[in-house]
Amino acid sequence: MRKVLKAFGRALFGTRARLRWLHLVLGGALLMPYWLVGTVIVGPLVGAESMFPNSVALQFGAYGIALPIAAATALFPMARPLSVAAAKALCGVPAERFAEGPARSRAARLRTSGWFTLHVGIGALISGATLALPPFAVTLILLPLSGGLRDWVMVPDYLDHAWALALCPFAGIAMLTALAACAAAAGALLARQAPVLLGPTPADRLQAAERRATELAERNRLARELHDSVGHALSAVTLQAGAARKVLDSDPEFVREALAAIEETTRRTVGELDSVLGLLRRDDEAANTARLTGPTLDTLDGLIARSGVPVSLTSDGDLAAVPALVSREAYRIVQEGLSNALRHAGASPVSLWIALRGEELEITMENPLPDRAPVIRPGGGRGVRGVAERAALLGGHAQAGPQDAVWRLSARLPLAGRR
């Protein structure tokens, strides 16, 4: 029995119930300006002598006019975040069940309007009862204890008996309990309706999915940038360091050249790494602008010179005329192809063809398949998949694999890249 009473008391007067009660009182306060407008409209129609008459009919008439006015004002987009903020703090509903941002679509605005009307409508009734009932209930509780209080409130003769006065405290307590029960029930009703009316609409869910897809694509893009720039540099440095170690005593000049190449590669890679990591700290506009920056085909000679493998380059067409976005992705595809050749074929020569064919840029790379691949990066990487993703994002395609005793990577990139 004690547990039941304790649970009953917590349901009516616990922290959650008190916060929801406060939320209802806030709704009543929000309706007050609309109710005042309603009294101005209704008063002259019924011949009221003052702005605040005691007529219950006039007050409820003003209440009926106030609700549609409140519903109309809640159609503004910013009404939703304000309502969500109050509901999050006071209704006890998990924050993830609410929509974010202003209500942009028609459905979202209608839902917000429905919520606001429900909130202020029920809140006004509970607020009115909260103001009116407690003083009356406390008076009933104290009536048996004070004859002066009975004279002040002018208790009727039929109540001025011992048995009637004995029942007054119970009636007062019952009124307060009923008020708390009504407030708890109204608060629970609003808590159930909050996710329905203030939750995300299908348009909101679609927008959130698109935003998550954009963020995921951006993370994948940064991962590819790190993989291509840092992975290529580490492969080249590993191969050069291994070769220098083998001839450390017999060919000091080669060792000096290898160390110089390692220094140049690491310096360039640190710069690219800073550039990529800097994208993580920029806002959306700056990040979108930065997507078009980075090495392009104009700097391909430097990449080939530092690649760590002998490369035979054949080009056809004016590569400087390739759009910056396509040129940048083409550079990364060539870089990954060289890294792949370095990891799996060592210092075997690479043949590279780059040509403009109408509205497409064609890239083909070949290197002999070794009998045994050098151990530069155990486990391999994700470079071939990254090349295919880069080509697909531009509306093109790429493939790589063994063909006729050589490893061949080919890519076709539309010059009007769609990204």
Sequence-ordered list of residues with C-beta below 8 angstroms from that of 49, at least 6 positions apart, any chain: none
Position 318, amino acid: D
> In which element (H, E) is residue 273 found?
helix 252-279
Position 389, amino acid: E
Q: Does the pLDDT of residue 140 top 50, yes or no?
A: yes
Instruction: For residue range 317-360, list pLDDT tens digits in order.
Output: 888 888 888 998 898 888 888 878 877 776 688 999 999 988 89
Domain residue extents for the chain: 2-200, 207-414
- Distance, C-alpha 161 to centroid of its chain: 67
Quick count: other Cβ atoms within 10 Å of Cβ 259?
13
Instruction: For residue range 176-229, list pLDDT tens digits in order.
Output: 999 999 999 999 999 999 999 999 888 888 877 877 877 777 777 767 667 666
* CATH superfamily assigned to domain 207-414: Histidine kinase-like ATPase, C-terminal domain (3.30.565.10)
Alpha-carbon distance of 410 to 362, in angstroms, equals 7
pLDDT confidence band for 375 (50 / 70 / 90): very low
Strands 406-414 and 360-368: antiparallel
Q: SS3 helix, strand, coil % of the chain, rounded to 5?
A: 70, 10, 20
Q: Taking residues 27-55, report their average pLDDT.
A: 76
At 376 the pLDDT is 47
pTM for this entry = 0.57
| Mean pLDDT of the chain, nearest integer | 81
